[in-house]
Amino acid sequence: MQMKSLANLAGVVGILLLSGAYAQQSSSAADTTSDQLSEVVVTATRRAESAQSVPLSITALSAEDLANIGATQTRDLVELAPNLSEQGSFGRTDPSFFIRGVGSTQFNPNSNSKVGVYLDDVYLNSPAVQGSQLFDIDRIEVARGPQGTLFGQNTTGGMVRAITNKPTIGGGFTADTSATAGSYNELDAQAAIGFDTGETSAARLAVIDEHRDGTQYNTFLHTRDGRTDALAWRAQWLWKPGSDVDLLVSAHGNRDRSDLVPYKQLGLINPATGGRCPAPALGSGCTDILGYADTANYHQGEWDIPHQASWVDSLGSSATLNWHLPQFTLTSVTAYEQNTSRILEDTSASPNDFLTGSYYGHPRQISEEIRLTSPEQQLRWIAGVYYFHENLDSSVSFAAPGLGPSAFTGTSGDLEGIGQVSSMTTNSYAAFGNVDFAFTSRLKLTLGLRVTHESKKVQYDAFIDNVNDVPPLGFVEGAGIVNNALVQTIDFPADKAWNNVSGRASASYTITEGVLAYASIARGFNSGNYNGGAFFVQGEATLVNPETLTSYEIGLKTEIDRNLRFNIDAFYYDFTNQQVFILESGSGGAPFQQLSNAAASSLAGGEAELAWKPTAGLLAQIGAGYTYSRFDNFVSPVGGNLTGNTLPSAPKSNLNGLIRYELPVSGGTLAAQVDGKYQSKQFFSINNDPLLRQDGYTLMNARISYSTLGDRLVVSAWGRNITNKQYLVAAYDLSGFGFDEWVVGDPRTFGVTVRYRSR
């Protein structure tokens, strides 16, 4: 733990608390007597509108919503939105989001998400930063369905967008600070300050520092693995020289030195017979090919690599210009993002130096969006152009000394491993437009269109390597793979371009005040990509075509007397050329990765969300989702005939809920809250292997808070996963080595958070 950095940040928090105490006081005390729900404003249509008037299936989460459940990472959002799930093997980094069963199971550095992740108006293409920390956030918007018109890179699954708090000109000095102490020696601190930098400008600075010991106990090396050690910051400056022009300049960075959460190993070999174990289970005594049997405890194990690295360093900046003219508003968003990620895993999840993986990624992206937005009127429109460019250098290496000399070549006499070194350049150009026409005060039609030209240039090389000199803690990347090569197995150059037309058409009708019905047809696509896990033969290397998803949706949004809000929708999805990633042990024994376009698949389901405030101080929220999914026609050379299988990470049903009661007491408010999420059975593999699945489970959280009048000071005691449920967040087929790899979720944690706001 970096105690020096934590002490420094604690000092900053202390200074801000003292300075905030002397800052100009605000008279906006929280109204604890209101029995009305707060209006939810979203910008998913590139305009600020009430979520109840937008013909989209969307969940909007305020800063208070995030604070009330203690959400500090994007992956925490799965507890708050129906039909949102996540699968990932690399701990805090590289989550893979699924919305309505649409997502990607790829884990290599080049994987592209089917759910677009945005920070304000900037698309974050790299999975390594999509699990970023949530701090100083105004709200989160989770939009379901293809986003084929108004937002950045097209995505088939949906969108997760974090909107940050912005500087306020003329707002004076403000401070928002918090500190958390919890189980596993958790010590976190956050701070944000806003201040004027002149009569026409203001700035806002924010930082978060998180530390926690590992939740996994290594009984082999007697260490706590899976530690958290992450620092992130953001600086923004707003300049408004006149009433018609404003410029926002933003920069942010992240330094994450956290551990990978060690995997659990499900042994598949019967030690008595050497054959297949009849009933594989943790603690059953079933072993891998070297005879190791893992324990039944999800949070204990034996790993030969302590503190497996899951490191990310990132930097980004953007400039957003708004020029308000009589006929339209001109908006320009210019952004740059880069990061370097290094992940070192004990792939074999055992005390043996058997199989070690190294993942390296270094993407650099530039994006530019220019759009024109009309004023609010009967016929309103948005038109724009978008450019995206990314250079990605990446590599993946697996040292396999446990397989013995000459394991892959059969002739070298050396301990061997496999590795790939690849680069990809992406260029994407798009023009888009959206028109809303109000035929009457009740009936509105919307038509959006986006035309995209995209190209990808790939150079992919794979090798069988000499790994005699690679220790278990050795991280191998790029030049190290090339320099230790015994045999080059793949030389795959590819250069391809695609054109795509996507868009959305919808109609909405206000049946009566507070009741909106809508229907829509939308189409989106997901970018083409290459197989980042090809190692052995030229035929493994592929550059797949983009996938296309067409969505049909109907919905009803209702709000009664501002204290009862109920929204419901139903959808049907039709996939064309769906990109499917397969990890499966082939006939030769070694796990084999394939990325291909499935022939066809379909999904259907819906969501329902209810928020009810029957009386002042009492709030109940419920969200429910259902998804039926299947491959309609898919025959894979690796997986065989998969037609009829359920899509991975597509649980049929899920339910999230929250009950919060606030009671006025002397000097402030006492609040008690219970929230949780149920998720039905889900498979982590496309072949629906029952050993690579998580049965239905429920996670429960609880929180008790005391806040002073105006919510300036809030003290909260909380517990997460209070029933200490053991569950999986991912699982992978490594049966060629005699085991499957399981990725586990967090155990029960608890703690206390103190938050102070100057206004």
609's CB contacts (< 8 A; 6+ apart) are 59, 82, 565, 566, 567, 568, 621, 622, 623, 624
Burial classification of residue 527, based on how many CB atoms lie within 10 Å of its CB (0-12 exposed, 13-18 middle, 19 or more buried): buried
Positive or negative: CA dihedral 262, 268, 269, 272: positive
pLDDT profile of the chain (759 residues), mean per 10: 38 36 32 71 88 92 86 84 86 83 88 90 87 87 90 84 95 95 97 96 97 96 95 97 96 95 95 92 93 95 94 96 96 96 94 95 96 94 96 96 93 95 96 95 95 96 95 91 96 95 95 95 92 91 91 96 94 91 71 81 95 93 96 81 90 96 92 96 92 96 93 94 95 92 95 92
pLDDT at 330: 97
Residue 1: the pLDDT is 38
Please state the pTM of the whole predicted model: 0.91
Assigned token pair, 297: 């405890």
Contact by Cβ (8 Å): 6, 187? yes
Among residues 743, 596, 637, the alpha carbon closest in space to that of 684 is found at 743
Contact 388, 153 (CB under 8 A): yes
> Residue type for 18, please?
L
**pLDDT at site 141:** 93
What burial letters (b/e) apply to 542-559, b meaning 16+ CB within 10 Å? bbbbbbbbbbebebebbb
The reported pLDDT for the residue numbered 33 is: 53
Gap between the Cα atoms of 576 and 196, Å rounded: 52
Q: Cα separation of 699 and 679, whole Å?
A: 9
Secondary structure class of 1 (helix, strand, coil): coil
Q: Which domain holds residue 727?
A: 3-757
**The predicted structure's pLDDT at residue 635:** 83
Rounded Cα–Cα distance for residues 536 and 743 (Å): 26
Q: Give one word for 296, left, alpha or beta, with left for phi > 0 and alpha for psi -120 to 50.
A: alpha
Q: What is the reported pLDDT for 23?
A: 33
Q: Mapping DSSP to helix (H, G, I), strand (E, B) and coil, where does residue 4 land? A: helix
Check residue 5 and report its DSSP letter. H
pLDDT value of residue 46: 87
Neighbouring CB atoms inside 10 A of 283's CB total 11
Q: Cα separation of 451 and 250, whole Å?
A: 29
CB 672 within 8 A of CB 660: yes
How far CA 640 is from CA of 537, 603, 643, in Å, comes to 19, 21, 9
What's the mean per-residue pLDDT of the chain?
90
Residue 503 pairs in a beta bridge with 449, 523
Which residue is listed with tokens 């939740």?
Answer: 215
In whole angstroms, what is the distance from residue 359 CA to residue 685 CA? 21
- Cβ neighbors of 217 (< 8 A, separation 6 or more) are 223, 224, 225, 299, 300, 301
How many CB atoms lie under 10 A from the CB of residue 608? Answer: 17
Helix (H, G, I), strand (E, B) or coil at 475: coil
Measured distance CA(209)–CA(205) in Å, rounded: 14
Residue whose structure tokens are 């969505």: 551
- Dmax over CA atoms of the chain, in Å, equals 82
The domain tally of the chain equals 1
Q: The domain spanning residue 364 has which CATH number?
A: 2.40.170.20
Q: What CA–CA distance (Å, rounded) separates 672 from 663? A: 9
> Which of 543, 455, 527, 529 lies closest to 492, judged by CA?
543
Contact 587, 606 (CB under 8 A): no
Interatomic CA distance for residues 166 and 195, integer angstroms: 11
Cβ-Cβ contacts under 8 Å for 335 (sequence gap 6 or more):
121, 122, 316, 317, 318, 319, 365, 366, 367, 368
Helix or strand holding residue 481 (H, E): helix 479-483
For the record, the structure tokens of 324 come out as 């308000």
Cβ-proximal residues to 537 (8 Å cutoff; 6+ apart), any chain? 489, 490
pLDDT at 64: 87
Write the CA distances from 679 to 82, 283, 329, 656, 699, integer angstroms: 10, 25, 44, 9, 9
CA distances to 71, 104, 180, 714 from 67, rounded to whole Å, are 6, 29, 12, 11
Residues counted in the chain: 759
Which neighbouring-strand residues pair with 422? 394, 460
The two tokens of residue 391 are: 């250079």
- Cα separation, 249 vs 484, whole angstroms: 45
Angle, vertex CA 360, rays to CA 354 and CA 363, nearest 5: 165
Strand partners, 610: 566, 622
Q: Which helix (H) or strand (E) holds 202?
A: strand 201-212
